[in-house]
């Protein structure tokens, strides 16, 4: 069964996959026990933060609803029981400094 989900990492990186589909795949990968992706938590965290920093550094154009979806997804990850259990197991997940800078900068424009 895991083989069905083995291509998620490639689909997240593919320019052929729509951003809406990428978000759906990332959400599925986060919650699914059948999605076997080495270092899954860090990979999904990095994918999300890379997409956000790419958008705010003007390297990637994204519709506003996708940007909001990425922020929501990041918030869901940060507040999830799954991430908490990863930490309890003694694993670490790193946050890119650029995301903290984006969040600080963009905070001036939030309504």
| Contact status, residue 42 vs residue 50, Cβ threshold 8 Å | no
Confidence of residue 32 (pLDDT cuts 50, 70, 90): confident
Separate counts of helices (H) and strands (E) for the chain? 6, 0
d(CA 84, CA 77): 9
Question: CA-to-CA distance for 87 and 63, rounded, in angstroms?
Answer: 33
Instruction: Name the pLDDT band for 1 (thresholds 50, 70, 90).
Output: very low
Condensed to tens digits (0 to 9), the pLDDT of residues 38-53 reads 888 888 989 999 999 9
Closest by CA position to 50, among listed 82, 29, 22: 22
Q: Which residue has the tokens 């069905």?
A: 4
Span 41-95, pLDDT tens digits? 888 989 999 999 999 888 989 999 999 999 999 999 888 888 888 888 888 777 7
Q: In the structure encoding, which two tokens stand for residue 15, read together?
A: 């320019």
Highest mean pLDDT among 15-19, 80-84, 87-91, 99-103: 15-19
């Amino acid at each position: 069964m895991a083989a069905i989900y083995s291509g998620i990492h490639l689909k997240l990186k593919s320019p052929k996959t729509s951003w809406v589909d990428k978000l759906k795949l990332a959400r599925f990968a986060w919650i699914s026990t059948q999605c076997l992706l080495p270092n899954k938590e860090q990979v999904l965290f990095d994918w999300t933060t890379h997409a956000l920093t790419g958008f705010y550094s003007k390297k990637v154009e994204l519709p506003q609803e996708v940007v909001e979806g990425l922020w929501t997804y990041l918030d869901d990850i940060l507040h999830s029981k799954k991430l908490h259990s990863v930490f309890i197991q003694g694993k670490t997940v790193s946050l890119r400094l650029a995301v903290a800078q984006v969040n600080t900068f963009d905070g001036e424009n939030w309504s």
